[in-house]
């Protein structure tokens, strides 16, 4: 692996740094953006930041110029991402820039790309991802929302759940079952829809952290034009894989706390026998998390090396996502332990390190569920990285309605 920037990469990194230093505040250890991810007030802030990046040439870095992008390389995109996380910037909300864009690029018509991609890049239109259901989350192909053909339209009925920011979204990408007599992976069709379509009901889910950026979405005879279909009828799973692989890339890069924050807290905290940073048990945990952090860093560098050579990375992102989610949860719990009586303090203005461990404790369980549970990721790593035999899937070639009949 070559970890050094090529001359043109170094020049691009410097260009990114100049923009970020002028447009945003440098992040100190333990410092987080002042508005929580789930707060509605984040929406105009993230839209403004997306617009600023677009004007400066850092939005849609790899998107072709004819669709409003910069026509750059995957390596340039990765370099900007590496630099952006060093600054206090609003985290994007919605699935548009990270999951919808790759899906539209791969499956939409040229006319659709020219219409829908530029507003995403400019932060003007928000999208959501309508995938998970009460009966189909980790086993997404087990979904039951139906799409039935009616002339030039499809009529959709069913329910989605855990849909982030559906209450703000203008559009959504939707996978539904169009052929219940086909095996579960082969009877699916993929659409994009207007969230203002009659028959769509969005209902917020109150979360433990206090906000409601997750939603239930109900479809009652919702009509979707066939022109809004992506991919062929019955091949929605192929389209969904494009979305899911990009979701996993993003899921491996989560908000903090991480090693820097727990190390800073250990330096600032006094135990009965002296500073926490001098305690053998504390140092052992710090060493473990440091090793994990370096392992994640070098795995990502392997991915960057592949990108710089024009190659496509393999399933390594499943490794980073698996390790990152568990590590963040452990660090959040241990940070609360070190804070002792200050642990319940969550006000960013008064809590140590702006309440980052409290926020991490409440949010971290979702890291180990969204974009693939730990169990799913272990299967991916076992089969695609280690080359172990596939897990037995007894329902793989069985008609979905036969599975439903057996369950009911």
List all residues 6 or more positions away from 293 whose beta carbon is below 8 Å from its beta carbon: 258, 259, 327
- Residues assigned a catalytic role: 247
Residue 338: CA count within 13 A, CB half-sphere? 30
What does residue 347 show for φ and ψ, rounded to 5 degrees? -65, 120
Predicted local confidence at residue 250, as pLDDT: 52
pLDDT value at position 251?
46
What is d(CA 159, CA 168) in angstroms, rounded to the nearest whole number? 18
**pLDDT digit of tens for each residue in the chain (408 aa)?**
556 788 998 999 999 999 999 999 988 766 665 555 556 677 888 889 999 999 999 999 989 999 999 999 888 888 898 899 889 888 776 677 878 998 999 999 999 999 999 999 999 999 999 999 998 777 888 899 999 999 999 999 999 999 988 999 999 999 999 999 999 899 999 999 999 999 999 999 887 767 777 899 999 999 999 999 999 999 999 999 888 876 655 544 555 688 988 998 999 899 988 999 999 999 999 999 999 999 988 887 777 777 666 665 567 778 888 898 899 999 999 999 998 887 777 776 777 777 788 888 887 887 787 777 888 889 888 988 888 998 887 777 888 888 755 554
**CA–CA distance, 13 with 354 (Å, rounded to integer):** 30
- Structural domains in the chain, CATH included, are 7-93 (no CATH), 128-234 (2.40.110.10), 252-372 (1.20.140.10)
Q: Which of 241, 236, 186 is nearest to 372 (CA)?
A: 241
Reading phi first (left if > 0) and then psi (alpha if -120 to 50, else beta), residue 248 is in: alpha
**Which residues fall within 8 angstroms of residue 354, CB to CB, at 6 or more apart?**
30, 31, 32, 348
If 0-12 CB within 10 Å is exposed, 13-18 middle and 19+ buried, where does residue 196 land? exposed
- Using CA atoms, how far residue 122 sits from 68, 89, 146, in Å, is 9, 16, 33
d(CA 257, CA 331): 7
**pLDDT for residue 375:** 87
Between CA 62 and CA 70, with CA 68 as vertex, the angle to 5 degrees is: 35
Quote the CA–CA distance of 401 and 181 in Å, as a whole number: 6
Encode 253-284: b = buried (16+ Cβ within 10 Å), e = exposed. ebbbbbbebbbbbbeebeeeeeebbebeebee
Please say whether the beta carbons of 142 and 131 come within 8 A: no
């Amino acid at each position: 692996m070559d970890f050094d920037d090529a001359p043109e990469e170094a020049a691009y990194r410097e260009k990114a740094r100049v923009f970020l230093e002028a447009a945003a505040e440098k992040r100190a250890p333990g410092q987080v953006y002042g508005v929580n991810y789930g707060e509605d007030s984040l929406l105009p802030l993230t839209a403004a930041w997306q617009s600023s990046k677009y004007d400066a040439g850092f939005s849609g870095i790899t998107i072709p110029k004819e669709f409003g992008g910069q026509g750059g390389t995957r390596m340039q995109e990765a370099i900007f991402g590496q630099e952006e996380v060093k600054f206090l910037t609003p985290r994007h909300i919605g699935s548009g820039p990270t999951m919808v864009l790759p899906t539209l690029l791969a499956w939409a018509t040229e006319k659709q790309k020219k219409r829908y991609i530029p507003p995403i890049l400019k932060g003007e239109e928000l999208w959501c991802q309508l995938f998970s259901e009460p009966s189909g989350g980790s086993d997404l192909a087990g979904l039951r929302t139906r799409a039935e053909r009616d002339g030039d339209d499809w009529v959709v009925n069913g329910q989605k759940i855990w849909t982030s920011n559906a209450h703000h979204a203008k559009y959504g990408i939707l996978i539904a079952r169009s052929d219940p007599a086909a095996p579960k992976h082969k009877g699916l069709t993929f659409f994009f829809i207007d969230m203002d379509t009659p028959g769509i009901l969005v209902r917020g889910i109150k979360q433990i952290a206090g906000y409601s950026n997750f939603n239930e979405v109900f479809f009652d005879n919702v009509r979707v034009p066939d022109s809004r279909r992506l991919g062929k009828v019955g091949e929605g799973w192929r389209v969904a894989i494009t979305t899911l692989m990009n979701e996993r890339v993003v899921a491996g890069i989560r908000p903090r706390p991480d090693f820097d924050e727990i190390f800073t807290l250990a330096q600032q905290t006094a135990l009965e026998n002296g500073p926490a940073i001098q305690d053998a048990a504390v140092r052992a945990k710090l060493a473990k998390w440091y090793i994990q952090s370096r392992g994640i860093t070098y795995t990502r560098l392997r991915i960057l090396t592949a990108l710089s050579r024009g190659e496509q990375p393999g399933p390594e992102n499943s490794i980073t996502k698996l390790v990152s989610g568990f590590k963040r949860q452990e660090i959040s719990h241990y940070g609360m332990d070190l804070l002792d009586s200050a642990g319940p303090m969550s006000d960013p203005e008064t809590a140590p390190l702006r309440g980052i461990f409290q926020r991490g404790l409440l949010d971290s369980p979702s890291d180990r569920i969204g974009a693939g549970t730990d169990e799913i990721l272990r299967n991916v790593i076992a089969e695609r990285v280690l080359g172990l035999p596939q897990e037995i899937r007894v329902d793989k070639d069985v008609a979905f309605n036969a599975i439903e009949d057996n369950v009911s």
